[in-house]
Amino acid sequence: MALVFGASSAPGTHLLRQPPAGWALEAAGRTDPRTWGLPLRRFHPLDLSDGPAVRALLSGSPADAWINLAIPCLAPGPADARGMGALGAGDPERERRLLVDLPGWLADEAERQDRYLVQLSTDEVFDGEAGPYGEEDPPSPPSDRLSPTGAALGTGEARVYASRARRAIVRVCRPYGGGHPSRPDWVAQWAEALERGAPLVIPSAEQITPTWVPDLTEALGAILDRQPRRIYHVASPEVVSLDGFLAHLCREAGLPARRGGVPEPGNGRRGGLRVREVHKLGVRPLGYREGLRRFVGDRGSQRLSSGSPNRDNSRS
């Protein structure tokens, strides 16, 4: 059995919908995914920023593995131009505890109780000077190029990495897709804005390797089965700028590309991830072109099933 933290996130809800074979899942957090009809063995209502409460839950947990997907910047909802919520958009101190302290608490308890820990991270731990980055690259030191979110993520990741616990760190880049049951992800928000005729302001030169969420779910299952002590990247093998990603979304969805305003600062960031280690587990993440094709297909299917009108997404 595995205990999932952050199960109401986009990666979390997809994991619950398609759990790894042979693994029963429990979840802990403030939002019960069962309210969306998702299957779950048990839910533990808990503020994940409350250290004593988290430790009390862990001390009595029968789970063999813990999966921490509780990263506020990956939660669906209003997104900035990079498709990421900003650290401090809600309660800054609580989000700092989720990104920095919670991974440390989990790593300490995983070491003490001999549990296996999977910690999610992102390419935001790098300063964007020389991406895409490999699994062997350590998080960047603090600098003006590193965002507050990235600095906090890097600190939390370092605590897990330094632990003697059995652990894996899984980095992703701008995850999208998977069909969150109630809130659109950043790519869906882009598509909805374009359908309304709203122009998008994006940092056109920013480089990404976006992660298709179902690939992350597959990787998590393979990692749980083998329980290696390693860092993994799950991301598109194809590098693209945000502007190029938007253009490809518009082509796939048959939408006009509308841009407006002045591009956001920081548009020269060279982010993204190089993928190697997860291939050894038999997982081959999709390139962004195929990911967007499936995203558009899934979105059309969801509209048909809900009775909403759907545009023609056929391709010549």
Question: Strands 240-241 and 207-208, how do they pair?
Answer: antiparallel
CB of 250 within 8 A of CB of 256? yes
Domains recognised in the chain with CATH numbers: 2-304 (3.40.50.720)
Tokens read off for 276:
């190697």
How many whole angstroms separate alpha carbon 154 and alpha carbon 112?
A: 23
Cβ-based burial of 291 (10 A; exposed 0-12, middle 13-18, buried ≥19): buried
Tell me the pLDDT of the chain (316 aa) as tens digits: 999 999 999 999 999 999 999 999 999 999 999 999 999 999 999 999 999 999 999 999 999 999 999 998 775 544 443 444 433 446 889 999 999 999 999 999 999 999 999 999 999 999 999 999 999 999 999 999 998 999 999 999 999 999 999 999 999 999 999 999 998 999 999 999 989 888 787 766 889 999 999 999 999 999 999 999 999 999 999 999 998 999 999 999 998 876 665 555 555 889 999 999 999 999 999 999 999 999 999 987 776 555 544 433 332 2
CA distance 111 to 115: 7
In three-state secondary structure terms, 207 is strand
Asked whether the beta carbons of 235 and 121 are under 8 A apart, the reply is no
Residue 308 CA from chain centroid, whole number: 28
Number of H helices, E strands in the chain: 9, 9
> Cβ distance 174 to 276 under 8 Å?
no
Q: How far apart are CA 229 and CA 241, in angstroms?
A: 32
**136 vs 183: CA distance, rounded Å:** 34
CA dihedral 83, 76, 186, 99 (to 10 degrees): 20
Q: In whole angstroms, give the CA distance from residue 243 to residue 222.
A: 33
Phi, psi (degrees; rounded to nearest 5) at 65:
-140, 150
Q: Running DSSP on this structure, what letter comes out for residue 211?
A: P
Region of residue 313 (phi > 0: left; psi between -120 and 50: alpha; otherwise: beta): alpha
